[in-house]
Each structure stands twice: as C-alpha cells, then as structure tokens.
Structure 1
Amino acid sequence: MATFLTAPTRASLFLLLSLGFTRPVLAKAPDANAQGFAAYNKGDYAKAHALFEKALKQDPSNAFARLNRARTTTLLNQGKEDADDFDYCAFESNWMYLALADLSVAVEKDAQALLPKIDEDSKGLKALKASDEYKKWRKAISVFVKEKGIQEKVLGTTSDWWFLQPGQIPKSITLAADKRVMETQQDMSEHSTGKWRPLGSGVEITPDKKPARPWKLLAGKYYFDQGQRFFFEVRLEPDGEPTPADDSWKMGPLSLGPLSGDCL
C-alpha cells in the first residue's frame, strides 16, 4: 500500500517541476485595510481600528489606512477630552493629536486622493473637524498643497501666532484687524509692537524702530511622541537675510498650528 502511494506522489512532483512550478501557489493574504473598512461600515469601530492597525504594521505607507485609523481613533475616543483626568498635553495619548498625525501622513503621501475624502467626511472625522485643533491644522494643509486664497484662509482679518525659543517662555503675537502687531505680556496685557500688511502670499511686517521686512507662509511639521509622529502647522518666516539672534519674535519664525499655547 505504501509503495502504491509513493509512486504517484513522485510522479506528481516531477510533473510540477517540469512545468516550472517550484513552490505551491498560495492564496493572497486578505487586505486588512479593506476588512477594516467593511467593519467600519457596519459600525464595529473597535474591530475596524484593530484591522487598520494591522494594515499599517504591514505597510506604514498605506495612506488610506492612515485616514481610516484617524476615523476610528476619533469615533472611539471623542468626548474623552471633557473628562477630569484627561491630560491634554500628553500628546502621545491625546486622540486629537494622534488623529491629526495620521491625517498629516495621509495628506503628505497622497494629497490629491486623500484631501477630498477628508474634506467630505461627515461621519468618522465629525468630532475632530469641530475642534479648533483641526481648523488650525486645515490652514496648514492649505499652505502645504498651495490652495488658492491661502492668505485669506490663513490670515483672515486677525491671526494669532506663537514665537518659541528653547528655554524661553512662549510669546503670543497677534496680527490684528487694524494692521497692528500686538504682543501679549505675561500679565496678559497687550501692547503694539509694529504694523503688518498683506504682501503677495505672505505679509510685510514693520516692527517698531525697525525696517519693513517680508515674511513668507510655509507649512512646517511639529514632531511629538519622541519624534515618531508629527502634524502640520503654519509658519511665518522672515524672508531675506537673518536678523541677529535674540529672544525677540522679530527673528521668527512664528507658528500657528493645532498645539495649544498652554502646552508650549
């Protein structure tokens, strides 16, 4: 009986080799992102989130899985920011920053395909899109993709910026509607420290007792979670020759992004 079974097996192997098959044909592995999206459409967000996580472990560059994980991160965590024990400044666990980090990578990978889906989303990203963090992030994306009307979208009539220097207390700078540049002091009082006006796609700032200088709008990256994640922010940087380094905001850059001043 054993001899009878062995002969056909060897013959079959010889036939496979002669036809060029050196290994068995395996079925294609299921697409974890597609499986996750099916679970997402059924409302099983925990299962969908786990599958999107799996898809990103298999391929961290999967922009669609990034978008989908941002959706389930939002749906599974929305409202937690109102709890007494929520640590807003723990960026690595703040769901808003985690979702924005995924959206940032998705847009960086394929803005043409992903940004319209983000803009049209009224389900998974609804709670995130209602936040000030998202609205500031979206301004940065306008700069990143060079949308029309960048100046109006980012600056409007008034815009609030932060000047950050290592080891220094952050300074709040406002480009006010009356075209004054206002600096907020530590006692929360404000005083005028210059003037500004729109210029091209950026601005021209004339500090007190200083010459006028053009500043350009740029999209920058704010890294967190030990440099493993980032989200986009808008930056205003002086154009031309740099000014002598000091602790004044006049040396730039100024930043406008999702991060709250309380965490700087």
Structure 2
Amino acid sequence: MHSAPMPSRRALLPLLACLACLALPGLGWAKDTDSNALGFKAYEKGDYKKAHGLFEKALKQNPDNAYARLNRARTTTLLNKGKEEKDGFEYCDYPSNWIFRALADLSKAVELERAAVLPKIDEDQKGLKALKERGEYLKWRKAVSLLGAEAGAAEKVLRETPDWLYEQPAAIPVHISLRPDKKVVTQDHTMEETIAGQWSLKGGQLEITPANGKATLWKPVAEQYYFNEGKDFFFDPQLQPVGEGASGSGWLGGPLRAGPLLGDCS
C-alpha cells in the first residue's frame, strides 16, 4: 500500500495562512487596519491624495472603522478646501460638497467611538483646520456636545443659539428667533416678523410662553439629520418640547433645528 505524497512546502503556505486567520480573532480585519495605517503614513508625509485612497480602501473593507472615518474627513478637507468659494460650486450637490461629506464621516466616527475619537477631532489643527473655521462645523460641534452630555452643554447651546428652524414635510418653514429682550419672534415665507411669546432658561431647558397659551419646556438634544437621499447623516442640534407641551400644533409642536444644513437646500 502506497502512502499519499506529502504536499510541497509551497502548497502548505496558503493552508497555514488560513489556519492562522482562524486561530487569531480579529485578524480578518488586518487588511483594513493596514490600509488605514498606510494611509496615515502618507498623510503625515503630505501625500493627501494617496492617503485619501487608502482610507477609502479601509472603509470599503470595514465601514465601521472609526479612525478611517476621521482620517478620510481630514483628507477630504485638505483636498477640497477653498472649492466652495469658486464659481460653479454647487452647495446643495451633496456628493460634491466636501463640507457635508466630512461632517458625515466625523458623525459616524463619533457614533462608533466617541470617547476615543472626539478628543482627536478637538485637538486637530491640521487636517480639519479649514472645516473648523466654518459655521457648519460649529453647529455640528454643538450637537455633539449634547450627544455626550458634556457639562453645561445644554445651557451653553441655548445661550449661544438664538436662531432655530421649524421644517416639516408639507408645512411652511418657520424661523424662530430668541431675541436678547426675551421675546420669541417668528418669521415665515412672507418675511414678516411676529412676536410670538417670551422665552427664559430653566435648568438647562428652554421655557417658551406663547402669546396665547401655556408655557412649554423645550429640551436641547442631538439628533441624526439624514441627507443625500438618506445615505449619510450628521448630528444636528434640536429643540424638542417635553411634557404637556409636546402636543402643541405647528412650530409649537417642534422639533426646532439649528444644524449645519438649515433650510439652504430645502
């Protein structure tokens, strides 16, 4: 009886590699990790185009890689900054608007690994510099502060955000302004201003007393605002009525928004 021939060393290599993948948990993501790491090396050398391609490769292999999301936001910013000031830039063309693409990546990164990623975002003075100078980012960061329940975040957002928007399907958008004299002023498509009530702060919440009606408490929260036909989202600061006031009609029923995309592309 003849024994079966032993496989060659070359034939054994693929089998050993496969067994290693089974034996070591998480090794299946090695390519993803390598693409992100290689991309970051290229990023540090200033080769942003190469780095961007590697970050995209990492995200195709693992869309939940929070660090690749952060890094792609950096290269998206660096490769596109200034384009919004040139003729032909379509602000409402989401696939080409680098601002919202970068915010979408940052939002997903924060959703996945907030505690680890957010300090890196706050400390970044290179890749995200141009994005951080924009009002869209500042509104986004307010929402993230609410998401993480940062100390004093709710009251800070309320004090620093006088303008809100009521925007619902089949409803006329209404702009709500919280004036320094404590008046609530509304403005619809006619551009006519109406004094709609009074406002005050109460323990990290907003109290609105309509001209005709009972006082209502509103809570600032962070919500996911989907755009680009629901393919992407960014975090959006919103005001939502709580308690009995939640059943109000029109803009008094909320929610009110103050996020990065505020009626510009409706």
Structure 2: which amino acid aligns with 1:259?
L
CA distance in 1 between partners of 2:248 and 2:46 (Å): 57
**Number of aligned positions between the proteins:** 251
Q: Which consecutive unaligned segments of at least 5 residues does structure 1 have?
A: 1-6
Contact 2:155 2:204 in 1 (8 A): no
Contact 2:174 2:251 in 1 (8 A): yes
Of stretches 143-152 and 121-130 in structure 1, the one that deviates more from structure 2 is 143-152
Q: Report deviation, 1:24.
A: 2.7
Measured against aligned partners, the alpha-carbon deviations of 1:217-245 in whole angstroms (never above 9, x if no partner) come to 11111101221110000111111233254
User: Does residue 190 of structure 2 align to residue 195 of structure 1?
Assistant: no
Aligned twin of 2:247: 243
- Could you tell me which of 147, 151, 162 is aligned with 1:148? 151
- Could you tell me which of 130, 133, 156 is aligned with 2:133? 130
Q: Report deviation, 1:213.
A: 1.0
Contact 2:109 2:117 in 1 (8 A): yes
Contact 1:71 1:99 in 2 (8 A): yes
Q: CA RMSD in A?
A: 2.4
Measured against aligned partners, the alpha-carbon deviations of 1:42-75 in whole angstroms (never above 9, x if no partner) come to 0000000000000000110000000000000000
Measured against aligned partners, the alpha-carbon deviations of 1:154-183 in whole angstroms (never above 9, x if no partner) come to 122551100012123321111122211111
Contact 2:164 2:176 in 1 (8 A): yes
User: Does residue 113 of structure 2 align to residue 121 of structure 1?
Assistant: no
Greater Rg, structure 1 or structure 2? 1
CA distance in 2 between partners of 1:97 and 1:190 (Å): 31
User: Does residue 20 of structure 2 align to residue 23 of structure 1?
Assistant: no
Q: Report deviation, 1:76.
A: 0.4
Q: TM-score, normalised by structure 1?
A: 0.88
Identity %: 53
Measured against aligned partners, the alpha-carbon deviations of 1:86-122 in whole angstroms (never above 9, x if no partner) come to 1111223210000000000001111110000000000
CA distance in 2 between partners of 1:71 and 1:22 (Å): 37
User: Does residue 259 of structure 2 align to residue 257 of structure 1?
Assistant: yes
CA distance in 1 between partners of 2:138 and 2:99 (Å): 12
Mapping 1:30-45, distance limit 5 Å: 31-45=34-48
Q: Which consecutive unaligned segments of at least 5 residues does structure 2 have?
A: 21-29
**SS at 1:260 equivalent:** coil
CA distance in 1 between partners of 2:205 and 2:265 (Å): 27
Contact 2:172 2:188 in 1 (8 A): no
Of stretches 147-156 and 252-261 in structure 1, the one that deviates more from structure 2 is 147-156
Aligned twin of 1:112: 115
1:261–1:226 CA distance, 2 compared to 1 (3 A): closer
Which has the larger helix fraction?
Answer: 2
Contact 1:142 1:150 in 2 (8 A): yes
Aligned twin of 1:218: 221
